[in-house]
Structure 1
């Protein structure tokens, strides 16, 4: 095999561009080493490892002055051997994701039981990533949506929920996390026990039973108040709006009823919306009720609902 060809193959392999036969040959070579099992990496850590490996291998591949093919093979092998552990780390995690992603569709609610005995209930339009192995760390990530947690205590392994800028740590409790990506307000509401909530690595706030923390993305501030239990009505099949902006209402109506609300009027957009709707209602009927409560009118075209005064 010529030197230039060897360089090209290794480079294409690292970029995931090799042909099946070449990929198989290199994979078999890696498997000949006695690799140890590794702990799962996060997606960010995988990318960091990949970049570090490439940055350290690339200089060797770019060297123009080469005397003997054997010497090149030895040099490439030495570099790869030094980084084999890290590269295997990346390859294992790429083919075996460290988490399971659970989702709910428009208007769907779902309850799942975790291996540790904890129970999660997902609201409509939610995405949660759950570790495949929760023996050493119980760290979940709410990518989008709302989830109610009933956590079983296990003092040696804290239960951690990441939701955007907020990280909630708990040993055994029940609490609700609202973290829709397109909704301005996020909240953590505790119904039993006690949790610690930290924003972007700052000072942690401790919440006890019947307390709720609300984070305003626009103002970048948090408040702690008595819990509004009506906001937990979604578990019983209700969509609750409590002084919601028009933009937030649009997101929640789409998640729960699959319709898109829009308006061209500044007055409608500036209105704050408070109501409770059964998620079993016909979507258009739900929009009619919402509009009637706020003295507005609607015009329906397919899945789009125009709201006006």
Structure 2
């Protein structure tokens, strides 16, 4: 079991938001350690282990108050239990053996083809709009577990507030928790960046580099090549795709080619180093004929096109 899922399980348990099956499994795991003869530790060793556990748990799980409650309720200060909590591996293996694969969330996938957009009303009455060439996974038991994974592509969410069931979105390394909002996730796997933009309300975004809360009009940009995160003002054209436009703003050749294929179904290649080094800036109507869209793109950048069907070569 993934460490992230183990942490989420423990977090739900400590906050009292677990299912009966999850609660039973965690209780049995605790009893597994209670059944063993306790390891005799000195006061200094207990203090050291407690501090090590706290330093590992604090960034990933729950506020200090909840953790302290758990320490008083359970005898966690044992060498075996400490190692299992820090790594997460012992609980993962034990949980998998006890509950099996069916204990994890089941999903179904939703796709859009290149050039297709689609709006769905989710079981909780939230709305999700998928951009072209996108794939998402939606939890089957969505009313209880409002979780969506953006596998590839771009999606806009207009979320209904439900304090008892957080709305979460996983996109690559970024985990977004919705605090009542409408927001956009641009997570095409072939692009070198990933962007989360907030149109209204707030979202909490967490990743390997830490977490931040984005408010209305803010965006978080992840550079997947440089491995950097930056909070900035939301781009005015971040939602242009919902209004029928593809906006390229100083895009690299590689990113431009990805977006042209996703939105128009046209595969653009180049052999010229100059063409590949060109930065592309334009706005294209998504209702245009693909050949016309490529012609406009080429004309604006003083380039020529050749090719057959949906295979296009840009050259000088």
TM over 0.5: yes
Distance 1:161 1:88 in 2: 25
SS of corresponding position for 1:102: strand
Name 1:189's counterpart in structure 2: 197
Name 1:206's counterpart in structure 2: 213
Please say if 1:154 is aligned against 2:148: no
Match 1:170 to one of 178, 184, 203? 178
Please say if 1:137 is aligned against 2:142: no
Distance 1:222 1:87 in 2: 39
Name 1:294's counterpart in structure 2: 301
Structure 2 CA distance for partners of 1:93 and 1:206, relative to 1, 3 Å = closer
User: 1:137 Cα deviation (Å)?
Assistant: 2.5
SS of corresponding position for 1:280: coil
Give the structure with higher Rg (CA): 1
Please say if 1:239 is aligned against 2:250: no
User: 1:93 Cα deviation (Å)?
Assistant: 7.4
Name 2:228's counterpart in structure 1: 221
Q: CA RMSD in A?
A: 2.1
Match 2:123 to one of 104, 115, 120? 115
Distance 2:118 2:98 in 1: 37
User: 1:276 Cα deviation (Å)?
Assistant: 1.0
SS of corresponding position for 2:155: strand
User: 1:116 Cα deviation (Å)?
Assistant: 0.9
- Residues 152-199 of structure 1 show CA distances to partners (whole Å, capped at 9, x for unaligned) of 101121111100011111121000000001011110000000111112
Confirm or deny: 8 A CA contact 2:305 2:312 kept in the other structure: yes
Confirm or deny: 8 A CA contact 2:145 2:165 kept in the other structure: yes
Distance 2:206 2:116 in 1: 30
Name 1:89's counterpart in structure 2: 100
SS of corresponding position for 1:231: coil
User: 1:86 Cα deviation (Å)?
Assistant: 4.1
Match 1:104 to one of 88, 112, 117? 112
Q: Which runs of 5+ in 1 are unaligned?
A: 1-36, 40-82
Confirm or deny: 8 A CA contact 1:104 1:126 kept in the other structure: yes
SS of corresponding position for 1:230: coil
When normalised by structure 2's length, the TM-score is 0.68
Confirm or deny: 8 A CA contact 1:196 1:206 kept in the other structure: yes
When normalised by structure 1's length, the TM-score is 0.69
User: 1:280 Cα deviation (Å)?
Assistant: 0.9
SS of corresponding position for 2:133: coil
Distance 1:273 1:93 in 2: 47
Confirm or deny: 8 A CA contact 1:182 1:251 kept in the other structure: yes
Distance 1:38 1:126 in 2: 34
Please say if 1:283 is aligned against 2:290: yes
